Structure 1
Amino acid sequence: MLPAVVMLSGCGLDISSDEDTATQSSVTAEPTVQIAGAAVKGVIQQGLVVANRLIADKDGYYAPQRQAAKPVLTADDGSYEWQLRGKAEGWALVELTADGGTRMICDVVPQCDQADGAPVSFGQTMPLDSSFSLRGAGDLRMETVNLTPLTHLAVTLAERSGDGLSPVAISSAYTTVENWFGLPAGALRLTPPDLTNLDEMTGVTADAIQVAIANAAFLALVNDNAQWDSISDVLADVTLQVSATGQISVMGDGTNVALADLVSAAALQSSELQNAVDSSVISQRLAVVEHRNVQRFKTIADVNEESDTDVADSGDTNDTSTDTSTDTSTDTSTDTSTGSTDEQVAGTTEPDTSGDSTSGGDTTTDTTTDETVADTGTDTDTSEPVTETTPEETAPANTALLSWTAPLTRENGESLAMGEIAGFEVVYGTSAENLDQSLAIGDASVDELMVDELAEGTWYFAIRTLDTDGNRSRLSDVVYKQI
């Protein structure tokens, strides 16, 4: 029971102990949780940020619980902090708007064009119009919510859910947008680095750089394009597409922004940035990002050629491959419909340690990409030829290029359509018996993956296939590369 503070008034008597007053104060104090993050498209300074909890109504529909509160301003590095009343539980929506004092650093090489003003040089600040806004959402237990064009699209996509901005809808939308742009899983939770200051960030990963460049692509489309006067125009067009259809036009119709436009612009910016940085480490990572975007563009073009459709809610591919591989890169071509990965690694031989653990239903996909073996039944060994890398493909020495062929049958002999394959999972590590790292690929059409930033030593790789029913194949044979 809580002690009560008894107030006796009358006859000039007012009794209240100091101890009771302190207790009352502690009982009424409301807990708070801090949300922090950064607003980057480039870096946005003096942007107005407000955060609100996402609360479900009696029907289970999630919407922001808006409260009257003064916005906080982003700092010179784009960061913000917001104190939200209540416990560190549930999810929150964070929104940024611009006013006359808001500025953005131009993160496009060599400059950012403005419809009503002179071009702004790379690394210099430029104003944002009052219609500019960004949104992001996240779990309050994580306490970090970044605000970028990509998170903005994800929130827009999540709003199409029948449950509103529910945790499930937000998580799914974040994954879908990552897949659209060929980003690794969880990339939208990474804080994008300032692309104008990469030489000072030798520890930044290729994944984080890729996210930053994908966001920069929205502004890059304004350059030399009379159709788009500002970043707000580009973002509004894509947001409207996602809101209306849950998709982005793949190749465009001459009117709307296309996914291919954005990925192509990202590839070009990756190339331009290599000439703008002095650090060889950063230059190598930019080369990796450039190739990822080139490969993503090729995939988009292939998909469009095969079926003239848009990128749907389920996403397209999560292609983090790079073709910048050297003669010593692992080329693990998977053999169709068996679990073996036939790989050639600079004259070395591969250990024959195929995995046999499986999960899923009785009909796990034999979606064996030359690496995945389903756990059901017999496996038919119809190996595809090993894919060789060409001498022109030069990659950083600390990378491994993996390739495979998607399976045509399950291990039990049943046929397997591409539409039944949800994607692949590459697992790797410094021991063939302990493949403790993994990368997810959310598209059956992807057949290459560049694994970068590998430390010196021998690295071992295997792959499994995932089907649309949630079944997983056994791991393929293990292949390796010496870094």
Structure 2
Amino acid sequence: MLPAVVLLSGCGLDISSDDDTSAQSSATAEPTVQIAGAAMKGVIQQGLVVANRLIADKDGYYAPQRQAAKPVLTADDGSYEWQLRGKAEGWALVELTADGGTRMICDVVPQCDQAGGEPVAFGQTMPLDSNFSLLGAGDLRMETVNLTPLTHLAVTLAERSADGLSAVAISTAYTTVENWFGLPAGALRLTPPDLTNLDVTTSVSADAIQVAIANAAFLALVNDNAQWDSISDVLGDVTSQVSSTGQISITGDGTNVALADLVSAAALQSSELQNVVDSSVISQRLAVVQHRNVQRFKTIADVNEESDTSVVDSGEATDETTGGDQTAGTDSGSTSDSSTETGTDTSTDTSTGSEEQVAGNTEPDTSGDDTSSDTTIEETVPANAALLSWTAPLTRENGESLAMGEIAGFEVVYGTSAETLDQSLAIGDASVDELLVDELAEGTWYFAIRTLDTDGNRSRLSEVVYKQI
């Protein structure tokens, strides 16, 4: 089993049972496909959700096939389920609207300001105006479509396509919006967690938290700018920009919401949330998200409006300079520090059984010894911490492939001597590729990692990397 490459980075109430939906369960035995997901800005409760297939007309233009069906209401956790007639093929558009009974949980620390009303404390519910809406789209074979401000922007962008809401247009738009906000590939398909309840969801990935915080930033701007009275105002402004130009203003023009504003608000919320969570695991992941947002802000902060497309559509990962954070779709552990050196991994696995089974990487990894970002990272991470990142192995030493499902986790070992790595941290999640080791005393600290598979095999330790504290 190839061991990981270690990189030391520096600093519902369902009301759909009308005549139309009841026909779905009638004696005709017509096939149906269930679409499920969640409406998350904060958590949106009692929102009205409708799903429709996306069908092409004779000219190949894709648009929703409207059906006369009552909406379903999102549950208290924001989830919804919808039964759509027909086979599980093609794509669907899901729409959420609000009425007088719709509520949203305030996901901004310390509070959510309301025009003409008292502030709502973090974690408490607040009303949504009737103009509020969210869109999302997805492949019916996946059966999950989440609804967030970011998916709303992606659908709006896809609608500009000459083919309408085709599968290609939607997929491309989702990727573009991920790039705008420095999110890993596929992040908009993740179900964002409830930011007000993170301590009970310690298995949530940093990627999913980053998506949730990016969505929270839209409401955070209401607090910071008297120009915006509600989340609908902010979302409406950004949606209008995307609809008319295909992008978001990078640094702002004094009138419209800027991408830099949203990313900056996300970075601030990442920091604020660290003060309200009790879980050290979640705190570390929030630190990673903060670091990513700070790096993304620095990437776009000095770019003027005329060069929007070169930055917005570049697909640059927020942690590009650190060598490890940009890995898409992985669960991260935390932020931090400036490294003096990144390491290569030359470890191999040995079996704990009676017969030795080698499962490790004997090829050194040359993916990254990048210390160019040290000075910038130091501004956002503790001086007494080290951020480790690694790449999960793909094959065993004998050449056999190693699936992610066969990896049980990793073990990080460290100490003040390269020969005596007498402290360790176990990671029981194969998707984790970063870990913040903090509260380190002054001196030089050395780190290595080994991979553990589901059969109990353990790799030899990777090559040691170090950091001066």
Give the TM-score normalised by structure 2. 0.70
Aligned equivalent of 1:452, options 425, 434, 453: 434
User: How do 1:358-373 and structure 2 match up within 5 A?
Assistant: 371=367
Q: How does 1:411-430 map to 2 (within 5 A)?
A: 428-429=392-393
In 2, distance between residues paired with 1:88 and 1:454?
42
Structure 1 residues 119 and 178: CA distance shift in structure 2, 3 A = same
Contact 1:459 1:482 in 2 (8 A): no
Q: Is 1:46–1:101's contact at 8 Å kept on the other side of the alignment?
A: yes
Contact 1:459 1:481 in 2 (8 A): no
Checking the alignment, whether the CA contact within 8 Å between 2:155 and 2:170 is kept in structure 1 is yes
Number of residue-to-residue matches in the alignment: 364
Q: Superposed, which structure 2 residues align to 1:217-256 within 5 Å?
A: 217-256=217-256
Q: Give the one of 358, 363, 366 matched to 1:353.
A: 363
Map Cα deviations across residues 152-199 of structure 1 (whole Å, 9 max, x no partner): 000000001111000011001000000100011110000000000011
Query: How far apart are the structure 1 equivalents of 2:367 and 2:210?
Result: 27
Residue 330 to residue 432, structure 1, CA distance change in 2 (3 Å): farther
User: Structure 2: how far apart are the matches of 1:290 and 1:39?
Assistant: 24
1:251 aligns to what SS in structure 2? coil
What are the within-5 Å matches in structure 2 for residues 377-396 of structure 1? Answer: 393-394=381-382
Unaligned stretches of 5+ residues in structure 1 = 1-24, 333-342, 346-350, 356-369, 373-382, 403-426, 438-449, 461-477
Aligned residue type for 1:324 = T
Q: Check conservation: 2:180, 2:313, Cα contact below 8 A.
A: no
1:431 Cα offset (Å): 7.0
Return the letter of the residue paired with 1:325: S
In the TM superposition, residue 60 of structure 1 has moved relative to its aligned partner by: 1.2
Counterpart residue identity of residue 434, structure 2:
D
CA contact (8 A) 1:248 1:311 kept: no
Q: Any idea what SS the aligned residue of 1:284 has? A: helix
Query: Within the alignment, does 1:197 sit opposite 2:216 as a pair?
Result: no
Match for residue 314 of structure 1?
A: 313
- Give deviations 1:189-219, integer Å, cap 9, x for gaps: 0000000001111111111100000000000
Distance 1:101 1:191 in 2: 24
Alpha-carbon distance in 2 for matches of 1:286, 1:258: 23
Deviations for 1:200-250, whole angstroms, at most 9, x for unmatched residues? 111111111000000000000000411000000000000000000110010
* 1:57 CA drift (Å): 1.1
Matched, 1:301 2:301: yes
Give deviations 1:17-54, integer Å, cap 9, x for gaps. Answer: xxxxxxxx998321110000000000000000000000
- Distance change (3 Å), C-alpha of 1:76 and 1:396: farther
Residue number in structure 2 paired with 1:187: 187
**CA distance in 2 between partners of 1:394 and 1:385 (Å):** 17
Q: Read off the aligned partner of 2:190 and give its amino acid letter.
A: L
Tell me if 1:136 matches 2:136: yes
Give the partner amino acid of 2:247.
Answer: Q
SS in 2 for 1:222: helix
In the aligned structure 2, how far is the partner of 1:435 from the partner of 1:481? Answer: 25
Q: Is the 8 A contact 1:330 1:401 kept in 2?
A: no
> Is 1:166 aligned with 2:162?
no
SS in 2 for 1:94: strand
Check the 8 A contact 1:180/1:318 in 2, yes or no: no
Which of residues 365, 388, 403 in structure 2 aligns to 1:400?
Answer: 388
Superposition deviation, residue 331 in structure 1 = 4.6
Deviation for aligned residue 1:309 = 1.8
How far has the Cα of 1:311 moved from its partner?
A: 3.9
**Is 1:202–1:279's contact at 8 Å kept on the other side of the alignment?**
yes
Q: CA 1:397 to 1:430, structure 2 compared with 1: closer, same or farther past 3 Å?
A: farther
Asked whether the equivalents of residues 55 and 63 of structure 1 are also in contact (C-alpha less than 8 Å), the reply is yes
Which amino acid in structure 2 is aligned with residue 102 of structure 1? T
| 1:401, distance to aligned residue in structure 2 (A) | 5.0
SS of aligned partner of 1:92: strand
Is 191-200 or 314-323 further displaced after alignment? Answer: 314-323
**Structure 1 letter corresponding to 2:393:** G
CA shift, 1:326, in A, is 4.6
Q: Deviations over 1:122-165 (max 9, x none)?
A: 00000000000000000001000000000000000000111100
Confirm or deny that 1:88 pairs with 2:88.
yes
Greater RCO (CA < 8 Å, at least 6 residues apart): 2
Matched residue type, 1:452? E
**Secondary structure in 2 matching 1:28:** coil
* In structure 2, distance between residues paired with 1:150 and 1:274: 23
Q: Distance in 2 between matches of 1:199 and 1:26?
A: 44
1:292-326 deviation per Cα after TM superposition (whole angstroms, max 9, x unaligned): 00000001124x06x84224673442224569335
Query: What root-mean-square deviation, in Å, do the aligned CA atoms of Structure 1 and Structure 2 show?
Result: 3.4
Contact 1:198 1:277 (8 Å CA) reproduced? yes
Residues 354 and 453 of structure 1: is their aligned pair in 2 closer, same or farther, counting only changes over 3 Å?
A: closer
Give the unaligned 5+ runs of structure 2. Answer: 1-24, 326-333, 346-360, 405-431, 438-446, 452-461
Q: Please give the alpha-carbon distance, in whole angstroms, between the structure 1 residues aligned to 2:58 and 2:450.
A: 52
SS of the residue 1:276 aligns to: coil
User: Which amino acid is 2:363 matched to?
Assistant: T
